[in-house]
Structure 1
């Protein structure tokens, strides 16, 4: 007999089982390549553009021009470039003109050509699309005609927001690049400075140093904004970081889970084939030949599944990347894949599964041929669990079902852990979705009693003019705890009779404004409680402060510390009455030249578009969990039927009908599935809390882990629906077992 032919016969006899194994490996490789491919290509686009086109680290304005920029560059160790900008209103939109830069924020031409002649203009592609403009056409701006020569992307406007306090791009707003000479036609244009530090480490320290240099030279600074807090730059970075931080560990967990499950299944199948192995061994086959023969099956399955998953994932990466970049303007550098990741997706399942199978087979082949031919590997033994249950006191059906499970502990554990894994993935998807909904519904927007927030470029003072009725002033600085620069938050000063911002404690009681309050997400990250002291540093000037916490604000996804406005101004060295933000219940006609931006919380539905990626994640995770549950339960049930063929055949000889046998055999797994599901809940909580904590350090946003009982019920129904459907599919296999099966094996 040629062993090679036997491999295909074994696979043909158990097609369903091996197809399930291949699909399981395929899922692991598919998710690994898809997740790493999306994360790496997003990073390549964003990081590559920022590096190649010198994205700014800081932008600011001054009250007077800096005459010697070269000298300031030497003192600060940075590249500094002045550029001018001007907003031109159109009939159905608005375009912000920027002059072409050469040292920082260098535009990248996406289509057409660059600027060559006077009157040339480059526009962002979305503005051209929404305005119906084409390359080769013209656009008239304040009576001056410009020739549209191409489209471009600008490093400091990757996410095109009109105001830094906007959440979504303003409809009809766009960016245009013209020459410095052409921009002189707009004398109202303002000068802005961009900064990129040569030392790419310790950016915060260098920002503080530059701020000190400019202050010493007598410059009054406004619109001082580092890239980390500039949403035009930071928004894509946040998406990349969250994608990487969540996709890589999750994909690796799926991948290793697939390898583990397949390894256990192969182990059970090899052990059940002990008699055949002993017979072949006795016929003269050497240990090396038999080892290679039995290892070839899992290696073949692993290679096919890994390769198929990799090939299927390759064309799926670009559509996902494109969908995530729908609001971002970036040069298209094409989709590339890491050769190392491609190799790992194929080789890791082969190595893990092949190695585990090899060790199992070697262990079995150490036994003598006679011992193997006795079938000891297939014999069930009464173990301590069965003795503990004292099964004699139960009816036959109950006794049979318990024995069917406890006499194969590895199989039982595999089923419980497999269902736990599928339940954990399903619950995680639903919990992530619900947690994001809570953040959107009960986060920052829910705290605004007054929906309009006017933010000024420079500090204002109450002595220069009163605040209208129905509005109130606030002052803020950006801070971070000592030793933890990644945990940034706002220190906010508010008036004692402030009502525009709702602040309740954890019991729902209104907190006093005449004390120091901290939001619950920030308190949780810093492990602070009432009475503790928080030590932090002003990100702008590097000064350190200490405050004692008096109250904790119940909220989600919001990080700030509040205190009385007068105490805030005295502590930070600002004149009494200073403020930088006005919160209002109605629109106020402020001078637009004084404003850095306006945040409008009157239309919360506008923020729902931000949750679109969440829906995609939840849908994919749910589908994956269901598929994994189907495969795991099918493999275990199929394996259980295979190992109980003789018992099933004997029961049919005794007169049991097919449905009665199916109930006894297939329903015996119900308690294990039930236990497995409920084990998935604590596993999910432990996994989610650790992952969310890691994501919080990367993105500076703590997502709450909130479990909704309704989603637990839905997950429970889904898992048991999968279980029932899978039982019915496997029941057909059980019906095919004939009464003569037991006689063939001589075990009656």
Structure 2
């Protein structure tokens, strides 16, 4: 009860660390299980492709290649000017829609994804007009190849307010008499041989003179791979943040116990002399950290389990998967409770064992280290300083562990506080760098067949998917663009605009392939399986997309396409192109709206992290301040006897840690940026963009103000303790 603030601080930190550990690990485990069962139960494709001819021998192909293959019809229906609903025909063999709520399709029904329904206030039983048909929403569904429902594969963010997916029956789709066809394939048997089976199937299509216009393996589909990247990110957070807080708690508990043992050497020495064994005394003092660890572990774990369901519901806002029930892994519950017990027991044992190494006589005389001056303090020339400065410096040097604990606490609070701000700054920079400076078009149209001639409107371009010859799992796109392109503006590291007549590689792809200018890479076209050599001239300092750009003339010559042929158009204005000629259409505004939609929940995340950092910072600073006050009771009492005013006492005692707060914040900012950079580089390995980590100076300033205000609040709370110390404390000490 004498040190309740310190023990309460330790308890709260353990609760926070166990809550985070349980929540993130249970969330990651459930997300992995849900994704795996969803992909298996509803037959996620191994690949999908678009061909120039209709496949009429599907049953023969299924038998020949031991696979399931199904034709999927789709069309983008413009609900309004800025709102698109992608309609799919119902599959029964591959990419089967999973009913989340409601019932299966019957005549004149439609299934839609729940995020789009929620964003647009649609309910089961509502009617949707689709061209000349009125369809009734029979339920909400998920598609195994659209777990993260983005409109285009080059998009980073989804916005359910403007884009959603839906499924209707094959009969209803045929009545529309519009749209394009693609084929989804799923191989049976050993999954390790999928790549070789895909190669054999491509060779067969090539031998039948069937031209593949687009081919996407599931391992390259961002609508699926982004989910895995998110789960990896959760795993990294679940393993680092709780352990960091636990280590902080160990230091705090160790300091508190060491201080307590320094107060009681006479008691311990007397117990030794009376015949108490070292083991009995050790057991007595270890009850403090053990009871705190056990209580904090149990409370934190229970709170963590309660947060699982809300977190799963939150994740489903982004990833469209059916969640039947949440399962709790006993492993993580046991580890969450045992982790603080083990950490604090080891920490407590070393602290107590060090104190018990002294003999009973030494302990009864006050211990070996009573009045000991540290090496650093002896070396510093403090006599030339003012008394107030000298007092504050000595206060820190005479308790190095306490100062280290405060420093680490401020560093951790800084990293938590600025985590959300850094993420938002980085995304802002990514948006401005890519979608304002690099890509200047508003509309992008990709045709479902090769076009020839000079377009009357818009700027022509072509695109084709490739892989490395040495690693067929490393995929990227090669663009053919106009030599005087108005819509693609690429710059090098120095900010100089690059000539689009040269072969240019984007920074994310250059980093992944470890390519430098003038390097030659051997690649394989995914559509025709032919090998090509590409020599890179320059690296573009843009962060979105793993692309190689070359002139449209070089592109056509390399792939042996007709002169003046192209696959798509970029334009500032909306073009009138028949839907049945388009493979896809997208706008930059779609991405910007998706970005705005994504930053709204990020604001809540920033608020939550800021509150958590405030609590941790307040606990750490208040506990250290309390320790300083309790260790200086005699000095504070003497100051009052000598006539020091309250403000002077406050300044000497409470302001001694000010420079540690500043140093901790300064150290915390670069550590945060370095850790975020490492984490984002690891996460984005499976994505087609790099994540530049940056933070605005205004956010850094705001963060410092929050940390320093936290420090000031802890000082205000600690004033009561100073006021309670009476002048008689000095007399009592002298009598003892």
Q: TM-score, normalised by structure 1?
A: 0.88
1:453, distance to aligned residue in structure 2 (A)? 0.8
Match among 606, 611, 633 for residue 645 of structure 1: 633
Question: Are 1:127 and 1:175, in contact at CA under 8 Å, matched by a contact in 2?
Answer: no
Task: Give 1:499's aligned residue.
Answer: 486
After superposition, residues 17-166 of structure 1 pair within 5 angstroms as: 17-85=6-74, 98-114=88-104, 122=111, 124-125=113-114, 150-160=139-149
* Partner Cα separation in structure 2 for residue 493 and residue 140 of structure 1: 39
Aligned-partner SS, 2:498: coil
1:377, distance to aligned residue in structure 2 (A)? 5.9
Over 3 Å counting, the alpha-carbon distance change for 1:529 and 1:123 in structure 2 is closer
Task: Give 1:423's aligned residue.
Answer: 414
Deviations 1:722-745 (A, max 9, x none): 112112211211221222223334
Q: Which moved more, 1:378-387 or 1:152-161?
A: 152-161
* Partner Cα separation in structure 1 for residue 79 and residue 412 of structure 2: 56
Aligned-partner SS, 1:13: coil
Q: Which moved more, 1:76-85 or 1:635-644?
A: 76-85
Kindly indicate whether residue 625 of structure 2 is the aligned counterpart of residue 625 of structure 1: no
Kindly indicate whether residue 267 of structure 2 is the aligned counterpart of residue 279 of structure 1: no
Kindly indicate whether residue 366 of structure 2 is the aligned counterpart of residue 375 of structure 1: yes
Match among 682, 686, 697 for residue 674 of structure 2: 686
* Partner Cα separation in structure 2 for residue 220 and residue 320 of structure 1: 45
Match among 587, 590, 595 for residue 607 of structure 1: 595
* Partner Cα separation in structure 2 for residue 306 and residue 745 of structure 1: 39
Match among 411, 414, 417 for residue 405 of structure 2: 414
* Partner Cα separation in structure 1 for residue 413 and residue 134 of structure 2: 62
Question: Are 1:272 and 1:378, in contact at CA under 8 Å, matched by a contact in 2?
Answer: no
Match among 476, 491, 495 for residue 508 of structure 1: 495
Aligned-partner SS, 1:155: coil
Number of aligned residue pairs: give it: 731
Aligned-partner SS, 1:598: strand
Question: Are 2:24 and 2:237, in contact at CA under 8 Å, matched by a contact in 1?
Answer: no
* Partner Cα separation in structure 1 for residue 474 and residue 237 of structure 2: 19
Task: Give 1:574's aligned residue.
Answer: 561
1:458, distance to aligned residue in structure 2 (A)? 2.9
Over 3 Å counting, the alpha-carbon distance change for 1:224 and 1:717 in structure 2 is same
Aligned-partner SS, 2:68: strand
After superposition, residues 336-735 of structure 1 pair within 5 angstroms as: 336-376=327-367, 379-444=370-435, 446-462=437-453, 466-469=454-457, 471-481=458-468, 488-602=475-589, 604-735=592-723
Task: Give 1:3's aligned residue.
Answer: none
Q: Which moved more, 1:266-275 or 1:628-637?
A: 266-275
Task: Give 1:5's aligned residue.
Answer: none
Question: Are 1:88 and 1:97, in contact at CA under 8 Å, matched by a contact in 2?
Answer: yes
Task: Give 2:313's aligned residue.
Answer: 322
Question: Are 1:28 and 1:258, in contact at CA under 8 Å, matched by a contact in 2?
Answer: no
Question: Are 1:445 and 1:601, in contact at CA under 8 Å, matched by a contact in 2?
Answer: no
Question: Are 1:81 and 1:193, in contact at CA under 8 Å, matched by a contact in 2?
Answer: yes
Q: Which moved more, 1:158-167 or 1:350-359?
A: 158-167
Question: Are 1:223 and 1:596, in contact at CA under 8 Å, matched by a contact in 2?
Answer: no
1:443, distance to aligned residue in structure 2 (A)? 2.1
1:54, distance to aligned residue in structure 2 (A)? 1.1
1:562, distance to aligned residue in structure 2 (A)? 1.3
Over 3 Å counting, the alpha-carbon distance change for 1:99 and 1:505 in structure 2 is closer
1:342, distance to aligned residue in structure 2 (A)? 1.4
Question: Are 1:444 and 1:556, in contact at CA under 8 Å, matched by a contact in 2?
Answer: no
Aligned-partner SS, 2:91: coil
Aligned-partner SS, 2:310: helix
After superposition, residues 305-320 of structure 1 pair within 5 angstroms as: 305-320=296-311
* Partner Cα separation in structure 2 for residue 140 and residue 64 of structure 1: 31
Q: Which moved more, 1:592-601 or 1:487-496?
A: 487-496
* Structure 1 vs Structure 2 CA RMSD: 3.3
1:22, distance to aligned residue in structure 2 (A)? 0.7
Aligned-partner SS, 1:102: coil
Question: Are 1:100 and 1:106, in contact at CA under 8 Å, matched by a contact in 2?
Answer: yes
Over 3 Å counting, the alpha-carbon distance change for 1:648 and 1:488 in structure 2 is farther
Over 3 Å counting, the alpha-carbon distance change for 1:645 and 1:284 in structure 2 is farther
Over 3 Å counting, the alpha-carbon distance change for 1:582 and 1:125 in structure 2 is same
Task: Give 1:9's aligned residue.
Answer: none
Aligned-partner SS, 1:360: helix
Question: Are 2:212 and 2:528, in contact at CA under 8 Å, matched by a contact in 1?
Answer: no
Q: TM-score, normalised by structure 2?
A: 0.90
1:170, distance to aligned residue in structure 2 (A)? 6.6
* Partner Cα separation in structure 2 for residue 368 and residue 39 of structure 1: 51
Deviations 1:14-44 (A, max 9, x none): 2211111111111111111222233333333
List gaps (5 residues or longer) in structure 2. Answer: none
Over 3 Å counting, the alpha-carbon distance change for 1:381 and 1:155 in structure 2 is same
Question: Are 1:162 and 1:169, in contact at CA under 8 Å, matched by a contact in 2?
Answer: no
Over 3 Å counting, the alpha-carbon distance change for 1:522 and 1:165 in structure 2 is closer
Deviations 1:67-96 (A, max 9, x none): 433443355453322344567788998876
* Partner Cα separation in structure 2 for residue 249 and residue 207 of structure 1: 39
* Partner Cα separation in structure 1 for residue 255 and residue 235 of structure 2: 30
